[in-house]
């Protein structure tokens, strides 16, 4: 059975595209039923429109609390009978409201070897720290920042010749393979 997937994103959307392309290439037995964004001007919105994927803009500021915003999101996700949620550069903390509705069904990608360098600047922070290696982590989401149990990790060595730009390119290249592959493994084991 094709898994009904929701992707949440806030930015460029290259991981959203990698997931969508893997589905098109029959590497992932899923359908992106909806893209959830917190910023309607994010470039990822254009990428979803190009693929005729419905977009849901969650306007957090329209709600008194984050929990109420997520409650309305759960209602929206229920309309699509969403089975799995993939965060792809979604820069918001998920609260217990959404976590309770989708226990162990919310996955995140982060551009470091967690628990090292969580937060918004995982690549930059690892580069600045001059560690010999960093990488990419796919993990289950809990109510912390880039915490939750690890599903898959891939190391990316930091070479002496690397710049921040070259390291970003290497990390993103790994992300675009590791995320669809890991989602496919999760889907196939369910």
Please give the residue ranges that form the binding site for ligand GAR (CB under 6 A): 9, 11-15, 44, 88-89, 109-111, 120, 122, 146, 175
Q: List Cα–Cα distances, 174 to 95, 102, 179, 184, in angstroms.
A: 28, 27, 8, 16
Torsion region of 8: left, alpha or beta (phi above 0 gives left; psi -120 to 50 gives alpha) = beta
Q: Is 108 annotated as a binding residue?
A: yes
- Please say which residue, 15 or 97, places its beta carbon nearer to ligand GAR: 15
Q: Is 107 exposed, middle or buried (0-12, 13-18, 19+ CB in 10 A)?
A: buried
Catalytic residue flag (residue 139): no
Q: Closest CB to ligand GAR among 3 and 112?
A: 112
Token readout for 176 is 């675009």
Q: Is 93 annotated as a binding residue?
A: yes
Closest residue to ligand GAR, Cβ-based?
A: 89
- Grouping H, G, I as helix, E, B as strand and the rest as coil, residue 32 is strand
Q: What are residue 156's DSSP bridge partners?
A: 134
| Min CB(158)–ligand GAR separation in Å | 16
Compare residues 107 and 109 and give the one whose CB is closer to ligand GAR: 109
Q: Is 15 annotated as a binding residue?
A: yes
Is 145 assigned a ligand-binding role in the annotation? no
- Residues with a known catalytic role: 110
Task: List binding-site positions.
Answer: 13-15, 66, 91-94, 108
């Amino acid at each position: 059975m094709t898994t009904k997937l929701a992707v949440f994103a806030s930015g460029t959307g290259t991981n959203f595209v990698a997931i969508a392309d893997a589905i098109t290439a029959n590497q992932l037995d899923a359908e992106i039923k909806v893209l959830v964004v917190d910023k309607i001007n994010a470039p990822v919105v254009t990428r979803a429109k190009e693929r005729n994927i419905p977009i849901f803009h969650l306007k957090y500021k329209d709600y008194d609390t984050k929990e109420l915003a997520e409650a309305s999101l759960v209602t929206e996700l229920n309309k699509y009978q969403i089975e799995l949620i993939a965060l792809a550069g979604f820069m918001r903390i998920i609260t217990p409201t959404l976590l309770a509705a989708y226990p162990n069904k919310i996955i995140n990608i982060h551009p470091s070897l967690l628990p090292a360098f969580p937060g918004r600047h995982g690549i930059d922070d690892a580069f600045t720290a001059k560690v010999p290696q960093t990488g990419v982590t796919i993990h289950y989401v809990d109510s912390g920042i880039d915490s939750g149990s690890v599903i898959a990790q891939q190391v990316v060595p930091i070479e002496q010749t690397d710049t921040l730009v070259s390291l970003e390119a290497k990390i993103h290249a790994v992300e675009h393979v590791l995320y669809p592959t890991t989602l496919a493994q999760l889907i196939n084991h369910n």
